[in-house]
């Protein structure tokens, strides 16, 4: 199973974004390294983005494509790359929804999903689109503790 390493400050940034956006979904990009073979994915940047999905944003998300383009351009000459995105599920579990599956089209990207309610953020889990695109595979998520 693929391992995703997430530093405490990045974890806290996602939790904060989820709480601030509630009851709408928050979203953003994940930049990192690794993921080849048995090398763990290490998230090095969490980049918040406005949720530009149609509707009230309570049951879907869309990262602003201009932000994705800008980040891709910034990291293209270094070791980092866009490795995925994160979003929250207000008042729902941290697991992919049918809407998430319908919008998933990049099998190499990871999905970090955090549950959030009126009392704040809850569980966070990582996923990747399964081979064949008919579901998601869960990934191991490891929180690096601050030194």
3-class DSSP state of 9: helix
Give the pLDDT of residue 36. Answer: 79
Phi, psi angle pair for 126, to nearest 5°: -115, 145
pTM of the model: 0.94
The upper half-sphere exposure of residue 107, i.e. CA atoms within 13 Å in the direction of its Cβ, equals 7
Domains and CATH numbers, the chain: 3-126 (3.40.140.10)
Per-residue pLDDT of the chain (147 residues; tens, 9 = 90+): 678 999 999 999 999 999 999 999 999 999 999 987 778 999 999 999 999 998 887 889 999 999 999 999 999 999 999 999 999 999 999 999 999 999 998 989 999 999 999 999 999 999 999 999 999 999 999 987 554
3-class DSSP state of 82: strand
CB atoms within 10 A of CB 36: 7
């Amino acid at each position: 199973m693929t391992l995703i390493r997430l530093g405490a400050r990045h974890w806290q940034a996602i939790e904060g974004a989820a709480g601030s956006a509630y009851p709408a979904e928050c979203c953003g990009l994940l930049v990192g390294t690794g993921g080849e073979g048995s090398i763990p994915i290490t998230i090095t940047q969490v980049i918040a983005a406005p949720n530009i999905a149609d509707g009230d944003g309570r049951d879907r998300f869309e990262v602003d494509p201009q932000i994705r383009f800008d980040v891709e351009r910034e990291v293209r000459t270094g070791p980092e790359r866009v490795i995925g995105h994160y979003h929250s599920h207000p008042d729902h579990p941290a697991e992919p929804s049918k809407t998430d599956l319908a919008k998933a089209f990049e099998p190499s990207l990871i999905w970090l999903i955090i549950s959030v309610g009126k009392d704040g953020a809850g569980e966070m889990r990582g996923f990747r689109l399964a081979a064949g695109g008919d579901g998601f595979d869960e990934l191991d998520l490891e929180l690096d503790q601050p030194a």
